[in-house]
Amino acid sequence: MFNSGISSGPVSGDLADGLQANISALKNRFKNSADVIYREFTLGFASNPKAVLIYIDGMINQETTSGTILKPLMFDFDGRDSKRSAGPNGAGDMADVIANRALPNKRVQKAKSLKDVVDGILCGNTALLIDGSAVALVIETKGWESRNVDEPGTESIVRGPREGFTENIGVNSAMLRRKIKDENLRIESLELGRRTKTLVYLAYIDGVARREMVNEVKRRLNKIEIDGVLESGYIEQLIEDAPRSIFPTVGNTEKPDVVAAKLLEGRLAIFVDGTPFVLTVPHLFVEGFQSSEDYYSRPYYATTVRLVRYLAFVIAVLLPAGYVALQSYSQDLLPTPLLISMVASREGTPFPSYMEVLIMGVIFEIMREAGVRMPGAIGQAFSIVGALVLGEASARAGLVSNSMIVVVALTAISGFALTSLADVIGLLRLFFIACAAPLGLFGILMGGLTVLIHMFKLYSFGVPYLLPIAPGNLNDLKDVFIRAPLGSQVFPPRILGHRNLARTTSDRRPPGKD
Amino acid sequence: MSGRQLFFLVFCTVLGSALYGLPNGLIYQGRQDAWLDVSAGLGFAVIIALVLYILGSRYPNRTLFQYGETILGKYLGKVIGLIFAIFFLMVAAVLLRIEVDFLVVALMPETPPLVFALAFMAVSTYAVTSGVEVIGRLGELIGPLLILAVVGILFFTFNIIHLENLLPFFQENPAEVIGHSLLPGGWLGFVIIAGVLMAFQNEPRQALKPILGGTLTAALLIILVLFQCITILGVNVSIQQIYPLFRAVRMIEIGDFFERLDSMAGIVWTAGGFLAIVAFHECAAIGAAQLFKIKGNGGKWVALVEGLAILLLGLFIFHGSADRWQFLRSVFPLLALAVEMLIPMLLLTISVCRHGWGFLGQRSGGK
């Protein structure tokens, strides 16, 4: 079984028989909590015992509570059933009878300890306490306002499903189930966070994901000891292989079809309640260059687009550094006409090229951050200041060269092509500028080798981060720089899934040529 | 470490620094027949590779440094191991110096050599502390790039080659060929690193193909490079230039737009040369760790100390480029071949005398 090894606080003690004792015990727990509602009533007719419903306002669905709990208990329940079937224990069985015969609700659990009742109420369930019974019923009534299924903001596509995950974990896992209707799809749950008690699901396909990997992920999840999990980022940072590396070894996505694709390749997904971002592990470097759309469009175009992404990565990381190296050290590499126009544009600018790159880079980063955070209403003013004043005017005034503005703009646009690698790109860019400023192309080479060595040392849940580039694997390379036609991607990536699991055996010959 | 990684590592180690270390010297010796010398030198390398392979399969999972102890006993064996370790250290230093000189002369004349050497050894130490596997993957990535850089040149030189420069053929007599083959032989003998790296192979018994393949590919590309230099520049200019291939690449012009590609090519070669330094640095570090029985975290300190040693040795080993060529032409070939070929052959002979041909090493158990 997959139980969280975390005890949740010091709440303990069993329920008492008397209703008032239990109520005061609970009121003692929920001190100064105006949103905890205690609804006292009598079961059925006057001769029956009193009962109380306890729930938190706003976390329950009012209709469920009144329709499936209050109405049947107050109007339909006559108590004779319970007296007839009451055994020697008397009122102890009252809870059983009510649960079995009087509550038309999807899920009712019996709770004997105060802790279970408190936990249930905090989760958005309703607790039913009956006078004379030491057993409480925790009835599923969760229901709170949440966002509708919507198109995700971070991963826009042209072709493919538009739905994205929501903040509600139940909706999210259902979206995954709807994609993969296989009884081998496992969704195991655990609770993380001493105080937030966040629900976390671990999803994988049994028989496709490797058992050792599943166990390793569970082991790391169970080791987490933290007071609160507010977003999947918390979990990501607590389970990743290399917390001190700039490269992410845990992936995240907002799209159910992406998660389904990753599960089919033998990966695992971690859903966290309260966030639309679902984690996928293991996460390899090349995944940053893959998009779900690659698989929905036809292979030639998808391959071209993918190659363009690699190009964009190289430009975004290396262009400013390369510019500095060429400008300061290896001018002879530039074709003569280009060199002449570049030198002409640098005429009269006061800063050395690496200073220019750094200044413009920093200004661009500030603009980007401001663009993300600012209210939409001032967008127009912002773009005027950004584009005209900083770009056009600074070049006119002779503060920075025109070619530098081209470099910075090209770098920025290329960076936008790969949103999932944006943070890595920004840091690498700075690193390479620092290498190129004193040593030129040689510095870039040495910096590149350092980064490569670092990446060779990285693993994501036992899988080399740079797989399948190094160590090389021809079968898996079909989905790295190119996107081979679906019929030829017959196996899941070697190291991830089981080896002999053909994914498609469809006959791809054109019709009529048998 | 996989077979492919071993292949590329051997290939890069041999070719990486040969690109600017060798052509000038080879053409100086053999003129148009330099390729003949390289082919003869390949004979030495094949012998070395075979001897290493037989030793490796007789003593699986042991390195060059441990054969001696197993075959000759503790003290004599340690001496042999030490000779190898010092040789690796020395070669790393020589290669470092060749690299740094190339960078200073050809790419960035105003930067002090110390800066380059420091950068090389810092990154090299980082690679060595990361382990054999990382270096294997580095080779797997740089190797194809190096092949591309050398073979790619070919496609852009069709308009500037003069095939008549290759004539006359076969001017050397056999004795000269043998004499001139020592330099390329010693260089191709860098395959000796396989004697250390083979122990980290997944399947040591299938190591022969990658080792021989790596050496052969490197030798072929060296010959290709010689032909490129001679056809583009002619023999006399090639001898005058310290880095003839570099000069030849400078002649390339693609569509009136891309010219002077030499610094780009130089950077790619530097990557190969770097890998050669790393390979010898790694082997020397493994050797020291095994000889002095240093384990665990101590291995990182060994790598660091050896990195410093290579740095200092590399900076002070030659007085200038004349001194360097003198060393490479007269001292290096004999020294290299003695260590790379004679000692392993000696070890194998004694091993055969002691244990017979059928011996496969397993029954000797542990150490």
pLDDT tens digits, A425-470:
999 999 999 999 999 899 999 999 999 999 999 999 988 898 888 7
Residue A10 lies in a domain: no
Q: Is the pLDDT of residue A305 over 60?
A: yes
Tokens 């005034």 appear where?
A: A397
Look at residue B366 in the predicted model and tell me its pLDDT.
39
For residue B42, give both structure tokens: 């390949």
Q: Does A381 touch chain B (CB under 8 A)?
A: no
Other beta carbons within 10 Å of A444: 20
Q: Does A471 touch chain B (CB under 8 A)?
A: yes
What lies within 8 Å, CB to CB, of A138 at 6+ separation is A108, A109, A110, A111, A116, A117, A120, A121, A125, A126, A127, A128
Look at residue A1 in the predicted model and tell me its pLDDT.
37
Which one of A232, A263, A283 terminates a domain? Answer: A283
Residue B366 lies in a domain: no
Mean residue pLDDT across chain B: 86
Instruction: Please tell me which residue, A305 or A330, carries the higher pLDDT value.
Output: A305
Average pLDDT over residues A115-133: 88
Residue B361 lies in a domain: no
Look at residue B364 in the predicted model and tell me its pLDDT.
44
Number of domains composing chain B: 1
Q: What is the pLDDT of residues A7-33, one digit of tens each?
A: 343 445 788 888 888 888 888 888 888
Using a 10 angstrom Cβ sphere, with 0-12 exposed, 13-18 middle and 19 or more buried, the burial of residue B355 is middle
Domain identity same for A255 and A341: no
Q: Which of A245, A327, A442 to mutate to test the interface with B (most CBs of B within 10 A)?
A: A442
**Least CB–CB distance from B126: residue in A441, A450, A472:** A450
**Interface pTM, i.e. ipTM:** 0.91
Question: Whole domain around residue A176: which residue ranges?
Answer: 169-283
Q: What is the pLDDT of residues B112-166, one digit of tens each?
A: 999 999 999 999 999 999 989 899 999 988 999 899 888 888 888 888 888 888 8
Nearest residue to B195 (alpha-carbon basis) of B10, B335, B41: B10
**Least CB–CB distance from A456: residue in B119, B137, B270:** B137
In this prediction, residue A46 has a pLDDT band, given cuts at 50, 70 and 90, of low
Residue B193 lies in a domain: yes
Residue B234 lies in a domain: yes
Look at residue A485 in the predicted model and tell me its pLDDT.
78
**Least CB–CB distance from B103: residue in A337, A438, A442:** A442
In this prediction, residue A5 has a pLDDT band, given cuts at 50, 70 and 90, of very low
Domain identity same for A264 and A332: no
**CA separation for the pair A392, A246 (Å, rounded):** 34
Rg (CA), chain B: 20
**Least CB–CB distance from A452: residue in B111, B138, B262:** B138
Coil, helix or strand for B166?
helix
Average pLDDT over residues A159-181: 92
**Least CB–CB distance from B259: residue in A335, A466, A470:** A335
In this prediction, residue B218 has a pLDDT band, given cuts at 50, 70 and 90, of very high
Domain identity same for A442 and A335: yes
Helix segments in B22-131, DSSP class H: 23-30, 34-58, 64-72, 74-102, 113-130
In contact, A123 and A105? CB cutoff 8 Å = no
Whole-Å CA distances, B3 to A92, A439, B194, B360: 73, 35, 11, 21
Look at residue A307 in the predicted model and tell me its pLDDT.
94
CB contact under 8 A, A333 and B257: no
For residue B139, give both structure tokens: 């080779």
Please, which residues 428-467 of chain A have a Cβ atom closer than 8 Å to chain B?
A: 438-446, 449-450, 452-453, 456-457, 466
**Least CB–CB distance from A449: residue in B5, B133, B274:** B274
Q: Which residues pair with A139 in a beta bridge?
A: A108, A126
Which one of A463, A478, A503 terminates a domain? Answer: A463
Residue B319 lies in a domain: yes
**CA separation for the pair A183, B11 (Å, rounded):** 51
Q: Which of B107, B129, B142 to mutate to test the interface with A (most CBs of A within 10 A)?
A: B107
Q: Does B267 touch chain A (CB under 8 A)?
A: yes
Domain identity same for A259 and A327: no
In this prediction, residue A6 has a pLDDT band, given cuts at 50, 70 and 90, of very low
Q: What is the pLDDT of residues B246-281, one digit of tens each?
A: 888 888 887 777 777 888 888 888 999 999 999 999
Q: Which residues pair with A42 in a beta bridge?
A: A50
Residue A435 lies in a domain: yes
Look at residue A512 in the predicted model and tell me its pLDDT.
55
Q: Does A301 touch chain B (CB under 8 A)?
A: no
Q: Does A331 touch chain B (CB under 8 A)?
A: no
In contact, A412 and A303? CB cutoff 8 Å = no
Which one of A118, A139, A160 terminates a domain? Answer: A139
Residue A398 lies in a domain: yes
Q: How far is A387 from chain B (nearest CA, A)?
A: 32
The DSSP output letter for A481 is T
Residues from chain A contacting residue B118 (CB–CB below 8 Å): none
* CB contact burial A396-411 (16+ within 10 A = b; e otherwise): eeebbbbbbbebbebb
Q: How far is A7 from chain B (nearest CA, A)?
A: 38
CB contact under 8 A, A457 and B130: yes
**CA separation for the pair A39, A467 (Å, rounded):** 59
Residue A76 lies in a domain: yes
Residue B94 lies in a domain: yes
Question: Whole domain around residue B142: which residue ranges?
Answer: 3-356
Lowest mean pLDDT among A24-38, A46-60, A298-312, A429-443: A46-60
CB contact under 8 A, B270 and A471: no
Lowest mean pLDDT among A130-139, A441-450, B316-325: B316-325
Q: Does B182 touch chain A (CB under 8 A)?
A: no
What lies within 8 Å, CB to CB, of A465 at 6+ separation is A247, A249, A284, A285, A455, A456, A458, A459
**Least CB–CB distance from B141: residue in A330, A444, A452:** A452
Q: Determine which helix (DSSP H) or strand (DSSP E) holds A53, and give its type and residue range.
A: strand A50-56
CB contact under 8 A, A439 and B111: yes
The CA-to-CA distance between both ends of chain A, in Å, stands at 52
Average pLDDT over residues A127-148: 85
Transcribe A187-210 into DSSP letters.
EEEEEE-TTT-EEEEEEEEBTTB-
Q: What is the pLDDT of residues A260-279, one digit of tens each?
A: 999 988 899 999 999 999 99
**Phi first, then psi: what are they for A191, rounded to 5°?**
-115, 130
Average pLDDT over residues A140-163: 85
Other beta carbons within 10 Å of A471: 18
CB contact under 8 A, B137 and A332: no
Look at residue A32 in the predicted model and tell me its pLDDT.
86
Domain identity same for A179 and A101: no
Residue B367 lies in a domain: no
**Phi first, then psi: what are they for B253, rounded to 5°?**
-135, 125
Average pLDDT over residues B165-188: 84
Q: What is the pLDDT of residues A360-411, one digit of tens each?
A: 888 888 888 888 888 877 877 877 887 777 777 887 888 888 888 889 889 9
The DSSP output letter for A262 is H
Q: How far is B255 from chain A (nearest CA, A)?
A: 11
* Nearest-Cα residue of chain B relative to residue A339: B257
Report the percent of chain B where pLDDT is more than 90.
33
In this prediction, residue B88 has a pLDDT band, given cuts at 50, 70 and 90, of very high
Residue A507 lies in a domain: no
Number of domains composing chain A: 3
Q: Is the pLDDT of residue A505 over 70?
A: no
Transcribe B309-329 into DSSP letters.
HHHHHHHHS-SSHHHHHHIII
For residue B37, give both structure tokens: 């010398």
Tokens 């290493």 appear where?
A: B52
Domain identity same for A253 and A383: no
Domain identity same for A367 and A452: yes
What lies within 8 Å, CB to CB, of B312 at 6+ separation is none
Average pLDDT over residues A321-350: 86
In this prediction, residue A58 has a pLDDT band, given cuts at 50, 70 and 90, of confident
In terms of DSSP bridges, do strands A268-272 and A251-253 run parallel, antiparallel, or are they unpaired? unpaired
Report the percent of chain A where pLDDT is more than 90.
33
Residue A304 lies in a domain: no
**Phi first, then psi: what are they for A252, rounded to 5°?**
-145, 150
Q: How far is A332 from chain B (nearest CA, A)?
A: 6
Domain identity same for A326 and A451: yes
Domain identity same for A274 and A326: no
Report the percent of chain A where pLDDT is more than 70.
89
Q: Is the pLDDT of residue B41 over 80?
A: yes
Residues from chain B contacting residue A466 (CB–CB below 8 Å): 137
In contact, B223 and B38? CB cutoff 8 Å = yes
In this prediction, residue A131 has a pLDDT band, given cuts at 50, 70 and 90, of confident
Q: Is the pLDDT of residue A88 over 60?
A: no
Residue A504 lies in a domain: no
**CA separation for the pair A69, B254 (Å, rounded):** 83
What lies within 8 Å, CB to CB, of A415 at 6+ separation is A312, A316, A422, A425, A426
Residue A499 lies in a domain: no
Residue B19 lies in a domain: yes
Q: What is the CATH number of the domain that holds B40?
A: 1.20.1740.10
Q: Which residues pair with A186 in a beta bridge?
A: A204
Dmax (CA) of chain A? 102
Q: Which residues pair with B60 in a beta bridge?
A: none
